[in-house]
Amino acid sequence: MSTWKVACLIAVKDLRVERRSKIVTNQVLPFAGITMVSFAFALDKQNVLDTVAPGLIWLATTFSLLILVQRSFSIETDDGALDAMRVAGIDARAIFLGKAMALAVQLLVLEILLLFAAVVFYGESIQSSGAQGPVLAVVLLVTTLVSATCGLAAVGTLYGGLAAGFKGSETLLPLLTLPAVAPVLIGATKAVESAVGTAGAVVSEGWQWVGLLAVFAVAFGIGGALAFGPLIDE
């Protein structure tokens, strides 16, 4: 069976486990929602919220990523399933890709809901100025979501696999992940600012950040696939 096929099977398995356990819908999504509401309490003023909303979306996504990664690997390590998959001869790259794909799907759903939350709570809207109206802004937003999600999923899976099963992994994971995802936090925030027109930003300014996000996703996708095997083979 090819690596991609095995990866897809693992991704489907992870998503099925999540659908049945409902941890994501019952705990992670409400956590992300309450984070957005808490930001509004802390920042208070509407004009401040308008300015910082794109950053808050990605901050809430990053915090939720940590919970999702912990969850993704706790289901594997509790019953030694990760070791069992390796003993069964499954390629480590397939495990990495499968888990990253499942994580990416969950993150994408979360980000779309957070965008809606930003529209409702912070009054954000898509930029409609320019020759082609909101079309380019929507394309920029979708491309940003996809590329940032791929990068976050790759980093999360890589460090989740490293920390899995160790005492103190709950605190180690943020320590490793947060500095690594700083480029995504910066790039995705700037690109969304361009898409929604924060502080006069124009759509064309956002594409350079999408380029950075794409490079990040590719680098950590390849690096993660190569490094994941040595990290979990212990």
| 95 touches 11 (CB < 8 A) | no
180 binds another protein (CB under 8 A): yes
Alpha carbon distance 231, 234 (integer Å): 7
Minimum gap (Å) between residue 37 Cβ and another protein: 27
Whichever of 29 and 180 has its CB closer to another protein, that residue is 180
Which one of residues 156, 187, 197, 206 is an interface residue with another protein (CB under 8 A)?
Answer: 187
Nearest CA among 157, 45, 51, 160 for reference residue 105: 157
Whichever of 36 and 73 has its CB closer to another protein, that residue is 73
Alpha carbon distance 151, 6 (integer Å): 21
- Beta-carbon-side half-sphere exposure of residue 140 (alpha carbons within 13 Å): 29
Minimum gap (Å) between residue 159 Cβ and another protein: 9
The count of residues interacting with another protein (CB under 8 A) is 28
> What would the two tokens of residue 22 be?
């409902």
Per-position DSSP letters for 177-227, written without gaps between them? HHHHTHHHHHHHHHHHHHHHTGGG--HHHHHHHHHHHHHHHHHHHHHHHHH
Which one of residues 28, 201, 212, 214 is an interface residue with another protein (CB under 8 A)?
Answer: 212
Alpha carbon distance 137, 150 (integer Å): 20
Alpha carbon distance 53, 2 (integer Å): 42
234 binds another protein (CB under 8 A): yes
Which one of residues 12, 23, 105, 186 is an interface residue with another protein (CB under 8 A)?
Answer: 186
Which residues in 119-178 contact another protein (CB under 8 A)?
158, 162, 166-168, 172, 175-176, 178
231 binds another protein (CB under 8 A): yes
Minimum gap (Å) between residue 155 Cβ and another protein: 9
- Binding residues (CB under 8 A) for another protein: these are 158, 162, 166-168, 172, 175-176, 178-180, 182-183, 186-187, 190, 208-209, 212, 215-216, 219-220, 223, 227, 230-231, 234
